[in-house]
Every structure is written in C-alpha cells, then in structure tokens.
C-alpha cells in the first residue's frame, strides 16, 4: 500500500511488512529518545550510571512529574499532537484506531527484533516458541526473511522507544481526553504479549550487556534492553496499578534468580552479581524512586519495599528457592536506597528514609526466622547483612533475631579450632579494635568502598561476622535501644546455659560484650560487671584453657576501660583480676608451669597499656593499681626468659611515661598535669630497682649478657624519671648513685653499661643538667675499654663535632694525644680503666667460661688490656706516671699488667690463656712505652718492670717453633728494639740478671723454657741476644743432668753461639761467658766431664769457626782450669782431667786457623738469605 506523505489515513491492517524506515526517517533526534545505554556489568566501587542512560537524563524526574499530574504541554510535547511520523508513516495520535495500529506495528517490530536475536545466536526458542504475541499476528511466517536480515536492530529499537517516549509524555493529555481505562486497554495486549521473564530463553536471561553501549550491533543486546524499556513504559502508562507493579517486580526478581542459580557455584554469595548489566540496576532504581514518590502522594498504598516483599514471598513460595536467595538479592538492592531521583549516589540517604519505615527490614524479619530454622551459609549471610546496616541503618529486631539464632550455638563450632586472635591480650585487643573500626555502620565506610570489603575479619569463626554486625548497629542505636539489646543478651545467657561453656563459648561471649562495652562508654563499667557475673557461672568447671581465656578476657577489658577513660581503681574487674595475678606472682618459684603461664598473662596486660591505652589526662584512671606488690618476688624467682619479657614490658611502660612528658614540653622539668605518671613510675621503681641492683653485676645474675638491653633501658628510664619526679634535696645523690651502679661499676655487665648510656644520651637536656664533662669522660673511657658501642652524643661531648674514627682503639689513641697536650685531670679520667684492668688481671672480672660466653670473655679481656696498652704507649708517659706515687694511673696499669716474675709463681702460670694471649699482643707496646721514658734507667720501679717484661717475653710465650709467628713474638720484638736503640739497661743489666738468677738455674722447668727461648732466637738468626745469654745456657748445661733437660737442644744453642767466637763483636762476650761460669763460679771442678762433653760437641760441629774458636780460646782456658784443679786437689797430675783434655786437642788438631772477619763486620749487613745461611746451624732442630 502507498500513502501520501501528508495523509492521515493509516493502513487498513497492521500486517504490512517490517515498516522499514526511509532514508529521511533513519535518523531520529536522540534528544527526544530516552532509552537505556549500557556500560556493562556493575563494578565494585562504581556507583554511577551511564551518562547517556535514562536516569541521568531526568527520566525518573519526568516520570514522577507525569504520574503526579505536574506536567505541562510546553514541557513535554504538543498541546494537540497530530500528524506525528512513526515507522515511515504519518499518524494522528488523537485517533484511537490509528493509535491501535501504531501499537500493533510496535508489537510487529518487537517480534522482528526477537527473530533477529534468535537468528544471530542460533538458539531454539523455549516452550512458548518465542515471545507469545497475540491478536493473530504471525510475523515470522508472513515476512520475507531476506528483508528481515537487512533490518538495523538499533533502528528498530530506537523507533519503538521514540513512540513510547511520545506516548508517556502525553499521558496526562490522553487521560484527560479519554477515559483512563479506555486508554490503558489499548496497551493490555502489548503487556500480555511481553509475557514473563520465565518464558525467556537461556541466552536472553544470561545476557550481560556490553560496555560499548548502544553502539553495539548485537540483536540480542538491543532486544534485551528493549524488553526493559517496554516494561518501564508500561509501568508508567498503567501508573499506580498494583498489578503492573507486581508484574514488573516479579520479572525483575525472576531475572535475578536466574543469575543466582546460573552463576558459578564456586563463587561466594557476596561475589555473585544480581544484575545482568547496569541497566537492570538502573531500572530497579527508577522503579523504586517512582513507587516511593507515588506512596508519598498517596497514589499507591505501599512503599517499594512492601511491594517487593509481596513479590518475593510469592516467588519464593512458587519456586521454593534457596532461603539465602531473598537475603542475597535484598542485600544487593539495599544500595538503591542511596540514589536520588537524579541518579546521584548519596550515602546515608537510605538511612534517612529508614527513619520513616521505608526499608526492607520488616520483610527480612520473616526471612531471618526461616533462615535460622534452616541454617546454612552463616558467614555469607551475615556478610550480606552488612549492606542493610550500611544503607538502611540500625534495626533492633533484625539484630535480635540473628542473636537468638546464635545463642544455642555459642559453644559449638566444629570448624573453629584456631584461636590465634585470642592467644594474647594484644591480639584480642587488635581484634576488638578492628571490629569497631571496620564496621559498615559509619558514614565514612559507606562512601567509597564496597560493603563486602568491611566484613573480612575472619574466615574461621562466623560469629565474628555477627559481632561486626552488632558493632555497626550498636554505634547507631539510641541509648535506650542499646540498653534494651544488652538486657536481651543477658537474658539469654543464664546460669543454666552458660555454666558449661568451653573456651569457644567464653571467647565468643567475651568478644561480644567487649564490643558493646566499648561502644556504650557511659555504661562500660556496668557492662563489664555483667560479663563478670556471666563468667562466674562456670567457676566449678574451670579448666586450664578456660581459666587462661578468662584471665585474658579480664585483661583485655581493663585496657578497653582505660581506652574509654574509665577509672579502674575500684572497678570490680580490676580488684578481681589483680587478686588472682598477685596469687600467681607469689608462686613464681613453684615448678608448676601453669602458674607461670597465668602470671605471664599479667605481663601481657602491662604490655598492652602503652600501646592501646590513651595518654595520661587530667584525671587519674588508676593505672598504678595494675602494678602488683608481688612483682619483685616474681622477678627474683622466675626463670631468665620470664624476667627478660617482664623487664622489657616494664621498660616500655617507663618509656611511655617519658614520651608523654616530653610531648608536653621540651623542658623535662615541667611537672605533669596529673599524679598518675608519678604513681605509676614510683611503683615500678619500688619493685624493680632492688632486683636490678642485684642482677646487673657480673657473675651475680641469671640473665645472659646478650639479654641485658631491656634491663639497661629500664634502669636508664628510672634514672631519668627519678630526676623528674623527685623534689628531694638528695635527688642528685640518688642519680649519681644510679649512674655509678649502672654505668661505672667495674662489676656491671658491659652490655648493660652500654645500653644504659645509650638510653641516657637519648635525652641531651638530662645529660647536660646532671653530669660534668669529667664524669662523662670517665664513662666514655669505660665504654671504650669494654669495646662497647658508644653513643655519638657522648663522643661529640668528648671531642666536639669533629671526630672521625673506625674503631674504639683509634678513638682512644686520638683522645690520648689530645688530652696529653691539654693536661686535663688524666688520673681521674682513666681511673675506670685502672679498676677494670685490675679486675681483669686478678681474674675477678670476665672469668673464662664455656661456649659462646668464652668468646665474649676473651674479647672483653683483650679489649681492656689493649686499651691499657694504648694509654701507656700513646699518652705522654710523664702525664700518667708520677715517680714514687703508687696512685698514679701509670703505676696502677703497670702493676696490674706486669706482675713480678719471682719469687713465687710466675705470671704465665697465674694468668689464664685469654690474658696471656692479650699480653702477647700488647707486651711490646708496653715495653716500648716504658723504655721511651727518659728517666727509666734511674727509676728502680721502672727497671724492675722492664726486667719483669723481659722475663715474661722470654718465658711466658715459648711454644713450638712451628707455632710461633717469629716476627710478632714479644721476645723478638723487645730484644730487637734493645739492639736497635742500644738500650744498655736491658743489655748489660737486665739480661745478665735474668740469666744469673737462681730461679732459672735451679728450676728445671724454667731452664727448659729458657733453652727453648734461645732456640727460637737461634732459629730466627738473632745472634746477639743469644750470645748475651750464653752464660745462662752454660749454667743450665752444668746444673742439670742430661735426662732432665733437652740436652740436644742445649748443645745446639751453645754450639751456635760458639761459631761467632772469632767475630770481634762477639768474641769477648763469648769468652767472658765461659770464664764467668767455669772460672768465677768454679763449676769446672765438679762438672769437668760435662764440660769436656760440651767441648767435644763443639769440636764435632760442621762450622769451622766454632772449632777454631774451641782450639784457640777454649782449650787454652781448659788447660789453665785443669792445672788449677790439680793444684786445688793437691794430688799432682790427674789423668782423669788430662786424658779428656788431650782427646779434645786431638779432635781439633786438624783445624786450620781461619781469618777472622774484619773489625766492624756485621752479619746484619748481608742479604737475608746469606745471613741466615751463615748463621744457621745444620744440626738445629
């Protein structure tokens, strides 16, 4: 059929093809077409709709105006709409028959779009064979398939929407011209043809939208959204009809049910999405806004949530759906209460509506009752319930219903086996605070976060989700409702059902009450007392686990009371728990491990005070009542690990007090606003100071030195706070006493002194106002000597800001140079070092131990001795040594380091191996310091010390030649220094005295050590020192039988010396040694056999120099001695003497005289290899 372009006669039948648009009609002004514009599925934390969608283009506002009769023709269309062009034809919208034709064309085009959707997805229609269109129209059979494929889905949908937009905007006009019933009857057929969502195919039900919106070319996309748009238009056309509202809500609920059922079963309820796309959520929102507006204007009897409840009850009864489905859907829909009619998300708007009863809580009451009977998915359902709280606010009845479901299950939880969140007071507190912070009842939690993110407290105990819900509701409850709720809780926890609660039941009840106690600040103490009454029901069935849980609960409640700024001094919970703790602390010496575990819960309580309790205010809250009178008894009797934990906690408390005081004023002498600081500190000091005095001393404590830090920090805090809180005139004496005990006492553990100093120097004002530079210098020297870490502030105090060093010894060396030049009170500054050294050398300090303690002891010994050596060698000696003054530092250090060699036990037998090792390293520095002093030779004391050093170097460190670092051996270094500097006092007096001493001659052990020492000199090629002690070798040879000493080594040493007998430098010394021993001391007469054996060994040597020396010097001397002996005996010629003498002469008869080296010849001028070759003895061992 053909129509004139300006004609008004419509087609005689609605069946006239697909009404394809002409080119000039293909584009419709988008400004008058209102339809959904998809942006995909809703995303978490994205609460916005599409800007091109309906609601943001004021569609909901327009709908409210139209349905309330507030529209005008100037705003929404022509006064008398005629000749409007639809589907390529002109129609008169005032003509009822033409309007019917238009509606039929719409139905036809809807069918066309459905066919396109089916063909594009190739799916088989459902039981209804597609959409059940009526009125005898058989679109699929009658139309040309080729022409159908050429249709544009978006154009078909757009024209249909355009038509209905025009109808909706002229609703009030139509209803004024026609009867409302007659007008609505025109659309009944279309409504029936749309049918129900239950008739849709699976593909259409599971449609998920596209982020590209209406630019999408999918027929299924456009057909799905057209279904939403038609339902919205019919909802407006039928206005306040309850049946159309129920029809629309039924479809939306059924659409969500398919999402609930078809979504992955592996996903949790809070992860499932009830909306196919954002447009479905947008439709829900607009429907809700319009219905609520109609209720306000009294056009309908109920709010949206009441209509929704009726539909949900009906659908649930028909489908017998999972009881969780209505809770799940309602929780997701609760969010739409926060949208304004303009489509803007405003958190808190739903709570304002709820005050007038406009929410879904009433519907939920019956659902929660049924859920409680059926059970299942407790955690997920509770998490979903947070959405109600977030968007609708608090509801007493809902919370009470859920609580009633929990009461019989409080002590049941087969899957709840881990109690990490309650394993300590701190962990329990963290849980409570997290429950109070992360609840969705607050406005800030609902603005930019998804509801489910606030419920991630625990996956092991579903009851925590309920407590989280309680926390949110309780924060919003009125004081009356909160009291009422607590009364209902207590009514359910009677003596009959609470007596047998185990750990789980106790934990759950306590956690719930703690949350309520914290929320209801004014009733905190009363709530706490009520909980104590409930916990007292099961005293007769107390087990160890149950008792520990109760003690931790009491402790946690006390901290929470303090957070609420409640005075706990006379609180029932404080009195009860401190009585229990005092009993356990007094039994600290008991072998019962459970008692110590109970007592450690008390330490957990103290540990939580500075972390979770508010700072001190103007009102005293009674924290000092938590310091047990039996604390000293506990510290004195419990094990080291318990002591360490206790002291660490107490140091945190005192540190907390200091932090609070300093935060109020940089001046540390400002009095506190309340006396609670002082009361708490005084009790800590009273109980801890006696214990620390006894345990910080070395060898008197049971605590490893590595664990001394908490004790030292506590001691430092006590010293600082003593100055702050004491008004006594003797406060300076008390501080000095503590400083002396903890920082300067020689028996105080070094690590303790180190940490004590570190703590004090964290407060510069305190140091500057209470200690002199001299006292600080003493502390610095002590810490240096003990190889401790020194506070930078202390070193700056000593050196000023310009100091740079990599080690303690180098710092001390620099200090000695500076102080020597400045001439300060050196004797006083270094007095701590002298005290430490005396303790080390007398072995009253740092005794040798086993294991790791041995290494620590060795290090301390080495550090003290090394520092003493540095002071003696780097300091100007006459500054530290005063002749005749035994109190000078030089005297004290030398007296401790260098003991008299004899009489008595020699030092190397007195000292431990650690001391000897340190002395071996530092002996040469001590020796060089003494000999460098100009007055040494005229000072009998220093001469004695030099002799003791030489003796110690000779006899104290003699080991196997293979084990000796010869270049570093103190004997080599000291004798080398003497030869290089020609220190005659050592060469001419000390060495001969050592050699001639009766101790060496008579003591076989000393003689053996002496022989080995000379052997080391020989192996090194030190000829001069060896020759200087030749007389000692001869005495040892003649004084002891061969089987008592190392005769072979002795012979080699003597032969070695004799090979230098032709050298002018040594000849006189060698001859004098033989004359001294054989002639002056008259040893030949009684030892002539040993003498001839020695000479025979010399004659058999491979060095010709020794044999020549024997022939030219020794044999003539022996001839004289033989004659002298014969004369003394008076028996004439003695063949016992003449025969060995003649035999000796025969042995050297073949010796040819060797030209002696020229005068001034020095073996040390030769290259090293040649010198060693020349001096070495081939027979040496």
Closest CA to 819 of 771, 853, 778, 859: 778
pLDDT of residue 1133: 84
Which of 674, 669, 758 has the alpha carbon at shortest distance from 713?
758
Residues 312, 204 share a domain: no
Contacts of 548 (CB under 8 A, 6+ apart): 597, 598, 601
Residue 677's pLDDT is 85
What are 698's two structure tokens?
């070395």
Among the listed residues 383, 559, 552, 368, the one whose alpha carbon sits nearest the alpha carbon of residue 458: 383
List helix spans (H) across 568-639.
572-586, 593-612, 631-637
* 381 falls within a domain: yes
The pLDDT assigned to 148 comes to 59
Q: Which SS3 state, helix, strand or coil, does residue 267 take?
A: coil
Query: Does residue 248 sit within a domain?
Result: yes
Q: Do 1174 and 1071 belong together in one domain?
A: yes
What percent of the chain is predicted at pLDDT more than 70?
A: 83
Judgement on whether residues 247 and 310 belong to the same structural domain of the protein: no
- What the block records as the tokens of 624 is 């000092």
Quote the pLDDT of residue 625. Answer: 93
**Residue 978 falls inside a structural domain:** no
- Give the tens place of pLDDT for each residue, 192-227: 988 899 888 888 888 877 778 888 888 889 999 999
Q: Domain boundary residue among 516, 546, 565?
A: 565
**pLDDT score of 11:** 40
The answer to the question of residue 899 being in a domain is: no
246 with 311, same domain: the answer is no
Tell me how far CA of residue 718 lies from CA of 724, 760, 761, in angstroms: 10, 10, 14
State phi, psi for 122 to the nearest 5 degrees.
55, 45
DSSP-assigned states of every residue in 362-422: HHHHHHHHHHHHH---HHHHHHHHHHHHHHH---HHHHHHHHHHHGGGTT--TT----GGG
Give the C-alpha separation, 294 to 311, whole Å.
18
- 1070/1061 Cα distance (integer angstroms): 6
pLDDT of residue 575: 94
Length of the chain: 1181
pTM (2 decimals)? Answer: 0.73
Assess whether 401 and 335 both reside in one domain: yes
CA dist list (Å): 803 to 625, 768, 798: 49, 20, 9
In sequence order, what are the residues at sequence separation of 6 or more whose Cβ sits closer than 8 angstroms to the Cβ of residue 1100? Answer: 1147
* Beta-bridge partners for 91: 84
Residue 5 lies in a domain: no
Domain of residue 130: give its range: 23-253
pLDDT at 233 (0 to 100): 93
pLDDT in tens, 91-140: 887 788 888 888 888 888 898 888 888 776 543 333 333 333 333 333 33
Residue 254 corresponds to which tokens in the numbers above?
């059924």
Last residue of a domain, one of 565, 587, 602: 565
Peptide bond into 903 cis (omega under 30): yes
Residue 345 DSSP SS3:
strand
The Cα–Cα gap between 279 and 269 comes to 21
Q: pLDDT confidence of 286, banded at 50, 70, 90? A: very high
pLDDT tier at 820, thresholds 50, 70, 90? low
Q: How is the chain split among helix, strand and coil, in percent rounded to 5?
A: 65, 0, 30
pLDDT of residue 357: 86
Inform me whether the pLDDT recorded for 308 exceeds 90: yes
Average pLDDT, the chain: 80
Phi, psi of 697 (to 5 degrees): -75, 140
Residue 121 or 154, more confident: 154
Residues 1022 and 1107 in one domain: yes
- Of 215-219, 276-280, 374-378, 441-445, the poorest mean pLDDT is in 441-445
Same domain membership, residue 505 and residue 374? yes
| Domain count across the chain | 3
Confidence of residue 719 (pLDDT cuts 50, 70, 90): very high
Are 370 and 324 within 8 A, CB to CB? no
User: Are residues 201 and 129 part of one domain?
Assistant: yes
Claim to verify: residue 236 and residue 329 sit in the same structural domain: no
DSSP 490-507: HHHS-HHHHTT--HHHHH
Same domain? 311 vs 426:
yes
pLDDT in tens, 1082-1093: 788 778 888 888
User: Is pLDDT at 1125 greater than 70 in this prediction?
Assistant: yes
Distance CA 995, CA 1001 (A): 8
Residue 1055 confidence (pLDDT): 80
**Each residue's pLDDT tens digit, 770-795:** 888 888 889 999 998 888 888 888 88
The token pair that represents 1055 in the structure block: 């032969």
Q: What crossing angle do the helices spanning 1004-1020 and 970-981 adopt, rounded to 10°? A: 60
Asked if pLDDT for residue 146 goes beyond 60, the answer is no
- Which of 280-284, 419-423, 473-477, 758-762 has maximum average pLDDT? 280-284
The CA distance from 829 to 793, in Å, is 18
In 1004-1086, beta strands by DSSP E: none
Q: What is the pLDDT of residue 224?
A: 93
Q: What is the pLDDT of residue 443?
A: 40
C-alpha span between 244 and 238 (Å, rounded): 7
The pLDDT, as a whole number, for residue 15 is: 33
Q: Which residue, 213, 229, 253, sits at the end of a domain?
A: 253
Distance from C-alpha of 422 to C-alpha of 1040, rounded to nearest angstrom: 81
Question: CA 486 → CA 411, 431, 440, 531, distances in Å?
Answer: 19, 21, 21, 11
The residue-averaged pLDDT of 362-386 equals: 81
Among 157-161, 383-387, 509-513, 617-621, whose mean pLDDT is lowest? Answer: 617-621
Q: Mean pLDDT: which of 33-42, 360-369, 597-606 is highest?
A: 597-606
Does the pLDDT value for residue 149 go beyond 90? no
* Structural domain contains residue 945: no
Q: What is the pLDDT of residues 1012-1025, one digit of tens each?
A: 778 777 777 777 88
**DSSP for residue 616:** P
Specify the range with the lowest mean pLDDT, choosing from 175-184, 678-687, 923-932. Answer: 175-184
CB atoms within 10 A of CB 398: 22
454 and 512 belong to one structural domain:
yes
For position 572, what pLDDT does the model report?
93
More confident residue, 553 or 902: 553
DSSP letter, residue 729: T
Retrieve residue 1031's tokens: 């007389």
The tally of CA atoms less than 13 A away on the side-chain side of residue 531 is 28
Tell whether the model's pLDDT for residue 73 goes beyond 60. Answer: no
The answer to whether the beta carbons of residues 818 and 770 sit under 8 Å apart is: no
Listed range (13-27, 901-915, 943-957) with the worst mean pLDDT? 13-27
- Average pLDDT score over residue span 1157-1162: 44
Structure tokens at 516: 């309520």
Label residue 345 by pLDDT band (50, 70, 90).
Answer: very high
What digits encode the pLDDT tens for the residues 940-997?
899 889 888 988 888 888 765 455 556 678 888 888 888 888 887 887 778 777 776 6
Q: What is the pLDDT of residue 816?
A: 85
In a domain, 415, yes or no: yes
Listed in sequence order, the residues at least 6 apart from 552 whose beta carbon sits closer than 8 Å to its beta carbon are: 422, 424, 425, 428, 601, 604
With a cut of 80, say whether residue 818 has pLDDT above it: no
Is residue 615 one of the residues assigned to a domain? no
55 shares its domain with 162: yes
């Amino acid at each position: 059929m053909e129509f004139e372009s300006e004609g008004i006669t419509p087609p005689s039948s609605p069946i006239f093809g697909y009404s394809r648009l002409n080119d000039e009609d293909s584009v419709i002004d988008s400004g008058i077409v209102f339809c959904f514009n998809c942006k995909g599925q809703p995303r978490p934390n994205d609460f916005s709709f599409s800007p091109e969608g309906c609601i943001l283009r004021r569609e909901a506002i327009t709908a409210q105006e139209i349905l309330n009769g507030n529209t005008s023709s100037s705003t929404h269309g022509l006064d008398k709409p005629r000749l409007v062009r639809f589907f390529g034809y002109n129609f008169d919208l005032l003509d009822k028959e033409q309007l019917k034709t238009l509606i039929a064309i719409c139905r036809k085009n809807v069918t066309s779009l459905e066919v396109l959707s089916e063909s594009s997805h190739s799916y088989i229609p459902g039981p209804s064979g597609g959409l059940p269109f009526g009125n005898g129209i058989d679109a699929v059979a009658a139309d040309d398939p080729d022409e159908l494929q050429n249709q544009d889905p978006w154009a078909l949908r757009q024209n249909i929407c355009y038509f209905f937009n025009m109808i909706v905007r002229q609703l009030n006009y139509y209803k004024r011209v026609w009867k409302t019933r007659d007008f609505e009857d025109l659309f009944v057929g279309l409504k029936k043809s749309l049918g129900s969502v239950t008739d849709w195919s699976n593909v259409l039900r599971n449609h998920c939208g596209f982020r590209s919106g209406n630019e999408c070319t999918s027929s299924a996309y456009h057909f799905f959204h057209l279904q939403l748009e038609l339902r919205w238009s019919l909802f407006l056309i039928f206005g306040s009809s309850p049946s159309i509202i129920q029809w629309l809500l039924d479809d939306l609920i059924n659409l969500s049910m398919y999402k609930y059922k078809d979504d992955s079963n592996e996903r949790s309820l809070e992860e499932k999405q009830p909306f196919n796309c954002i447009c479905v959520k947008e439709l829900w929102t607009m429907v809700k806004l319009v219905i609520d507006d109609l209720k306000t204007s009294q056009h309908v009897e109920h709010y949206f949530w009441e209509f929704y409840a009726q539909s949900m009850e009906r659908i649930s009864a028909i489908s017998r759906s999972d009881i969780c489905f209505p809770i799940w859907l309602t929780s997701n829909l609760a969010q739409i209460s926060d949208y304004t009619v303009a489509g803007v998300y405003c958190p808190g708007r739903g709570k304002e509506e709820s005050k007038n009863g406009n929410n879904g809580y009433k519907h939920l009451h019956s659902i929660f009752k049924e859920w409680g009977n059926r059970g299942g998915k407790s955690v997920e359902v509770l998490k979903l319930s947070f959405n109600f709280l977030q968007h609708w606010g608090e509801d007493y009845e809902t919370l009470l219903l859920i609580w009633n479901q929990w009461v019989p299950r409080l002590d049941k939880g087969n899957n709840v086996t881990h109690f990490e969140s309650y394993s300590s007071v701190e962990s329990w507190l963290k849980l409570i605070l997290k429950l109070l912070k992360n609840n969705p009842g607050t406005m800030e939690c609902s603005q930019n976060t998804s509801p489910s993110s606030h419920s991630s407290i625990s996956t092991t105990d579903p009851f925590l989700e309920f407590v989280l819900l309680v926390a949110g509701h309780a924060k919003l409850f009125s004081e009356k409702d909160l009291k009422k709720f607590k009364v209902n809780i207590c009514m359910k926890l009677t003596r009959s059902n609470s007596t047998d609660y185990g750990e789980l039941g106790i934990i759950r009840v306590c956690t719930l009450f703690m949350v309520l106690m914290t929320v209801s600040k004014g009733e905190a103490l009363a709530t706490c007392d009520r909980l104590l009454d409930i916990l007292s029901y099961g005293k007769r069935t107390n087990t160890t686990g149950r008792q520990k849980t109760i003690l931790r609960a009491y402790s946690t409640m006390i901290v929470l009371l303090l957070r609420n700024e409640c005075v706990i001094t006379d609180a029932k919970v404080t009195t009860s728990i401190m009585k229990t703790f005092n009993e356990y602390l007094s039994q600290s010496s008991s072998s019962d491990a459970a008692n110590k575990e109970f007592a450690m819960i008390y330490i957990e309580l103290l540990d939580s005070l500075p972390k979770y309790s508010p700072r001190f205010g103007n009102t005293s809250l009674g924290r000092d009542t938590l310091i047990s009178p039996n604390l000293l008894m506990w510290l004195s009797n419990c094990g080291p690990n318990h002591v360490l934990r206790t002291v660490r906690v107490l140091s945190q408390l005192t540190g907390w007090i200091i932090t609070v005081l300093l935060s109020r004023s940089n001046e540390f002498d400002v009095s506190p606003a309340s006396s609670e600081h002082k009361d708490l500190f005084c009790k800590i000091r009273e109980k801890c100071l006696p214990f620390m005095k006894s345990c910080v001393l070395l060898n008197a404590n049971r605590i490893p030195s590595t664990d001394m830090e908490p004790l030292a920090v506590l001691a430092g805090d006590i010293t600082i706070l003593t100055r702050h809180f004491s008004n006594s005139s003797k406060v300076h004496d008390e501080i000095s006493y503590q400083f002396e005990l903890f920082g300067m006492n020689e028996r105080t553990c070094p690590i303790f002194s180190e940490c004590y100093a570190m703590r004090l120097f964290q407060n510069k004002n305190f140091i500057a106002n209470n200690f002199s530079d001299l006292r600080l210098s003493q502390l610095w020297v002590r810490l240096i000597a003990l190889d401790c870490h020194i506070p930078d502030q202390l070193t700056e105090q000593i050196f000023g800001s310009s100091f740079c060093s990599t080690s303690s010894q180098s710092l001390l060396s620099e200090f000695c140079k500076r102080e020597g030049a400045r001439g300060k009170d050196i004797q006083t500054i270094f007095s701590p070092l002298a005290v430490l050294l005396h303790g080390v050398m007398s072995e009253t300090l740092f005794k040798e131990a086993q294991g790791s303690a041995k290494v620590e002891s060795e290090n301390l010994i080495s550090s003290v001795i090394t520092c003493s050596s540095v002071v003696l060698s780097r300091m100007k000696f006459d500054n530290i040594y005063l002749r005749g003054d035994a109190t000078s530092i030089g005297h004290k250090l030398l007296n401790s380091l260098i003991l008299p060699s004899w009489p008595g036990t020699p030092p190397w037998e007195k000292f431990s191996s650690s001391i000897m090792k340190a002395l071996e390293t530092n002996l040469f520095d001590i020796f060089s310091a003494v000999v460098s002093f100009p007055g040494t030779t005229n000072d009998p004391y220093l001469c004695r010390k030099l002799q003791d050093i030489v003796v110690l170097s000779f006899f104290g460190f003699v080991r196997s030649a293979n084990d000796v670092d010869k270049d570093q051996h103190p004997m080599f270094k000291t004798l080398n220094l003497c030869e290089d500097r020609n220190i005659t006092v050592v060469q001419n007096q000390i060495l001969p005295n050592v050699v001639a001493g009766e101790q060496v001659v008579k003591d076989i052990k000393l003689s053996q050590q002496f022989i080995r020492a000379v052997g080391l000199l020989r192996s090194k090629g030190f000829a001069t020192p060896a020759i200087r002690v030749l007389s000692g070798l001869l005495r040892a040879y003649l004084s002891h039988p061969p089987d008592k000493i190392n005769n072979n080594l002795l012979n080699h040493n003597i032969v070695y010396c004799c090979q230098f007998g032709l050298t002018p430098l040594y000849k006189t010394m060698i001859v004098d040694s033989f004359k001294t021993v054989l002639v002056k001391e008259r040893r030949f007469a009684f030892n002539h056999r040993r003498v001839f054996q020695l000479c025979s060994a010399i004659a058999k040597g491979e060095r010709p120099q020794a044999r020549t020396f024997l022939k030219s010097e020794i044999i003539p001397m022996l001839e004289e001695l033989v004659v002298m002996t014969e004369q003394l005996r008076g028996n004439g010629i003695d063949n016992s003497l003449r025969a060995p003498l003649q035999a000796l002469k025969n042995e050297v008869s073949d010796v040819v005289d060797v030209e002696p080296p020229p005068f001034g010849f020095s073996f040390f001028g030769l290259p090293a290899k040649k010198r060693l070759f020349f001096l070495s003895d081939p027979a040496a061992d």
